């Protein structure tokens, strides 16, 4: 019998940062390695990735990282991991293309890493363990599920999927392979949970397509579509529908949006050359704008794609005449199929309000009328029926998603004792084919990324940034001659983000007086040093700010050792 353990470094009780571990007889398999985007209170943080302490401690047992698809919540942590552990990466052709681009963006030479392309016909053997793959339907092409077959049964990992039979070949689910896996005996499945609570979502894009077709017919001018670059399946559908009406297509920011660029280069997005338009920059001559003739063509559909807030930023630039390719007019129609992701809602609504105030015709597709690319209750029940698992471990999603998923599994006839909701770091252990939670936990946590994966941030820095945002800062700069114990020149006092009840200049003069008084007190002591003076000034100014305004600004004191001329 095999010794099997299932755990997660991320992806349980949260949206993103997906990284799951399957440990079989000392063979450690890593399933996906993603990031999540920060909440608004993580000031200056660009991404959050899993703590990989456990991987570093067990690096000699790792067989590789097996990637299901190319979204950042499944591949975004790879540059950081590979900088610390050079291990094998497995993914489909399109996924590896995206990973190569990601590593290059972070200054890593892809020639130094072991990137292996797989497909659903590929099987990999690690001792007595077999890893195989099957195609799944998601918003990005060549998405796969992963099956790890042991002597006790198969562990099936199924993140981010749905069952839509109307998609193209690169998006189709391999129902026959899933059924075949189920016939051989499945010990446990790890299916996604993000769509588990979508009880009223539509089962097809018919409403979306009907509405978009009507817009193609009735639009007075250009149509500008804002979409997420990760939603390639729907972008291709927009292209196909537009071409059906004889429209020309322009894609904004193809070089900037790497997923779109790679998709075109590898033929995963297709536009016939007869319909593809390459817009030229708007030029300014004699005080007025000169437009490319094609950019004003009423028969033009412009697709602006990006991640997170980028589609909204692009629309705002077009409206404010800052974009050099397209500038919106009241004859244009804007279509928004990029529903705000967590952390961008406020900005997205501000952009929407600005469009309406400028009399721009806006069609906003609510997510309830767009077919989801995540499994809903019916998809999950069909998945259970095909795989016939002994145990179900809901993964990917916040706590509410995991619990909704567990309820669906119970309604499908699974006993509550065979459904395990885990937290990051908890270990589900299988002994003689029987599952139970282990009392042992693995170390987990967040690594905060600021700008690049080499600039890692801890909680102290975040608290300082939060304090700076809420309380402001006071900066005191002075030239000091320690030998003569005197101030050279006049101390400079400035503030950033600090609000005073009295005129700010008066308050800063008061701070300057406190500095000089504190300096004089220390100058009269037998022992004089700048570090002690600095701490005393910080404390005196802090007390002043709290006493007068009940504020705790960051106090920065810069004392520069200076000799008299």
Cβ–Cβ < 8 Å for 56, 84:
yes
What local confidence, expressed as pLDDT, does residue 457 receive? 47
List the beta bridge partners of residue 190: 157
CA distance 557 to 515: 10
Residue 537 has pLDDT above 70, yes or no: yes
Phi-psi region of 160 (alpha: psi -120 to 50; beta: other; left: phi over 0): left
Report the pLDDT averaged over residues 281-292: 52
Q: Can you read off the two tokens belonging to residue 53?
A: 């302490």
Mean pLDDT along residues 473-497: 85
Average pLDDT over residues 124-132: 96
The closest of 40, 4, 43 to 24, measured between CA atoms, is 4
96-113: per-residue pLDDT in tens? 999 999 999 888 999 999
**pLDDT bracket for residue 342 (50, 70, 90):** low
Q: What's residue 453's pLDDT?
A: 47
The rounded distance, in Å, linking the Cα atoms of 280 and 292 is: 6
Question: Is residue 95's pLDDT more than 70?
Answer: yes
Interval 73-87: pLDDT, tens? 999 999 999 999 999
Cα(511)–Cα(164) distance, rounded to whole angstroms? 67
Q: At what angle do helices 258-265 and 93-105 cross, to 10 degrees?
A: 140
Give the pLDDT of residue 338.
Answer: 73
The pLDDT of residue 462: 46
Q: How large is the C-alpha radius of gyration of the chain? A: 29
487 versus 458: which is more confidently predicted? 487
pLDDT digits (tens, 9 = 90+) for 143-176: 999 999 999 999 999 999 999 888 888 899 999 9
Tell me what pLDDT residue 282 has. Answer: 62
Whole-angstrom distance, CA of residue 419 vs CA of residue 8: 16
Q: Which residue has the higher pLDDT, 341 or 546?
A: 546
The DSSP letter of residue 418 is G
3-state helix, strand, coil in the chain (%, to 5): 35, 30, 40
At residue 189, does pLDDT exceed 70? yes
With 60 as the cut, is the pLDDT of residue 417 above it?
Answer: yes
Single out the residue of 241, 173, 169, 168 nearest to residue 208, CA to CA: 241
Q: Nearest Cα to 21, choosing from 74, 65, 81?
A: 65
pLDDT band at 290 (very low <50, low <70, confident <90, very high): very low
CA atoms of 220 and 234, how far apart (whole Å): 24
Chain Cα centroid distance, residue 294: 35
More confident site: 54 or 506: 54
- Other CB atoms closer than 10 Å to residue 250's CB: what's the count? 23
Q: Would you put residue 122 in left (φ > 0), alpha (ψ -120 to 50) or beta?
A: beta
Of 563 and 321, the structure prediction assigns the larger pLDDT to 321
Between 481 and 114, residue with greater pLDDT: 114
Between 42 and 447, the more confident residue is: 447
Nearest to 420 by CA among 10, 12, 1, 9: 12
* Closest C-alpha among 331, 330, 357, 334 to residue 252: 334
Please give the full DSSP string across 95-145, using - where no structure is assigned: HHHHHHHHHHHTT--GGGS-EEE--TT-EEEETTEEEEEEEEB-SSSSEEE
Computed over every residue of the chain, the mean pLDDT equals 86
Separation between Cα atoms, residue 501 and residue 121, nearest integer Å: 71
The string of pLDDT tens digits covering residues 296-318 is 678 899 998 887 788 888 888 88
- Whether pLDDT at 41 is above 60: no
- 68 close to 159: Cβ distance less than 8 angstroms: yes
Would the pLDDT of 219 be above 90? no
So what's the pLDDT on residue 43? 45
Confidence of residue 455 (pLDDT cuts 50, 70, 90): very low
Comparing 478 with 67, the larger pLDDT belongs to 67
Per the rule left: phi > 0, alpha: psi between -120 and 50, beta: everything else, 534 is alpha
3-state SS, one letter per residue, for 452-499:
EEEEEECHHHHHHHHHHHHHCEEEEEEEEECCCCEEEEEEEEEEECCC
User: Could you tell me the maximum CA-CA distance found in the chain, to the nearest angstrom?
Assistant: 89
Residue 211 in 3-state DSSP? helix
**CA–CA separation, 52 and 338 (whole Å):** 32
Instruction: State the pLDDT at residue 42.
Output: 45
């Amino acid at each position: 019998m095999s010794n099997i353990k299932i755990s997660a470094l991320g992806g349980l009780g949260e949206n993103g940062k997906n990284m799951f571990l399957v440990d079989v007889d000392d063979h450690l398999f890593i399933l996906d390695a993603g990031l999540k985007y920060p909440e608004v209170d993580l000031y200056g943080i660009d991404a959050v990735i899993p703590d990989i302490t456990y991987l570093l401690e067990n690096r000699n047992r790792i067989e590789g990282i097996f990637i299901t698809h190319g979204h950042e919540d499944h591949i975004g942590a790879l540059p950081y991991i590979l900088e610390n552990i050079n291990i094998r990466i497995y993914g489909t052709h399109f996924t590896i293309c995206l990973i190569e681009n990601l590593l290059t963006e972070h200054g890593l030479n892809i020639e130094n890493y072991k990137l292996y392309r797989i497909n659903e016909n590929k099987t990999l053997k690690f001792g007595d363990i077999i890893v195989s793959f099957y195609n799944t339907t998601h918003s990005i092409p060549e998405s796969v599920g992963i099956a790890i077959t042991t002597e006790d049964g198969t562990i099936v990992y199924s993140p981010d999927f749905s069952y839509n039979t109307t998609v193209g070949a690169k998006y189709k689910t391999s129902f026959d392979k899933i059924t075949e896996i189920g016939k051989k005996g499945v010990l446990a499945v790890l299916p996604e949970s993000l769509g588990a609570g979508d009880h009223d979502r539509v089962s097809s894009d018919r409403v979306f397509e009907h509405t978009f077709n009507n817009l193609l017919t009735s639009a007075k001018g250009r149509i500008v579509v804002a979409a997420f670059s990760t939603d390639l399946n729907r972008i291709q559908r927009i292209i196909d529908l537009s071409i059906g009406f004889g429209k020309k297509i322009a894609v904004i920011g193809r070089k900037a949006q790497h997923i779109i660029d790679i998709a075109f280069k590898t033929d995963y997005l297709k536009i016939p050359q007869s319909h593809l338009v390459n817009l030229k920059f708007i030029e300014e001559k004699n005080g007025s704008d000169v437009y490319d003739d094609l950019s004003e063509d009423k028969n033009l559909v412009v697709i602006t794609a990006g991640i997170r807030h980028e589609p909204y930023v692009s629309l705002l630039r077009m409206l404010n005449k800052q974009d050099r390719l397209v500038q919106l007019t009241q004859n244009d129609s804007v279509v928004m199929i990029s529903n705000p992701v967590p952390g961008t809602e406020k900005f997205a609504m501000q952009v929407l309000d600005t469009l309406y105030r400028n009399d721009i015709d806006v069609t906003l597709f609510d997510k309830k009328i767009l077919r989801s690319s995540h499994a809903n209750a019916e998809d999950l029940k069909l998945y259970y029926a095909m795989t016939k698992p002994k145990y179900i471990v809901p993964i990917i999603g916040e706590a509410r998603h995991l619990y909704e998923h567990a309820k669906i599994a119970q309604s499908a006839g699974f006993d509550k004792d065979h459904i395990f909701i885990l937290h990051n770091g908890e270990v589900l252990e299988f002994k003689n084919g029987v599952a139970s939670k282990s009392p042992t936990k693995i170390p987990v946590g967040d690594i905060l990324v600021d700008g690049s994966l080499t600039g890692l941030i801890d909680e102290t820095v975040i608290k300082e940034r939060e304090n700076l945002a809420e309380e402001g800062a006071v900066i005191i700069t002075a030239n000091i001659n320690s030998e003569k114990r005197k101030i050279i020149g006049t101390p400079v006092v400035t503030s950033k983000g600090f609000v005073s009840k009295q005129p700010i200049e008066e308050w800063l003069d008061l701070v300057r007086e406190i500095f000089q008084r504190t300096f004089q007190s220390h100058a009269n002591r037998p022992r004089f040093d700048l570090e002690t003076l600095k701490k005393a000034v910080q404390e005196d100014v802090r007390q002043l700010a709290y006493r007068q305004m009940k504020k705790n600004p960051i106090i920065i004191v810069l004392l520069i050792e200076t000799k008299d001329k």
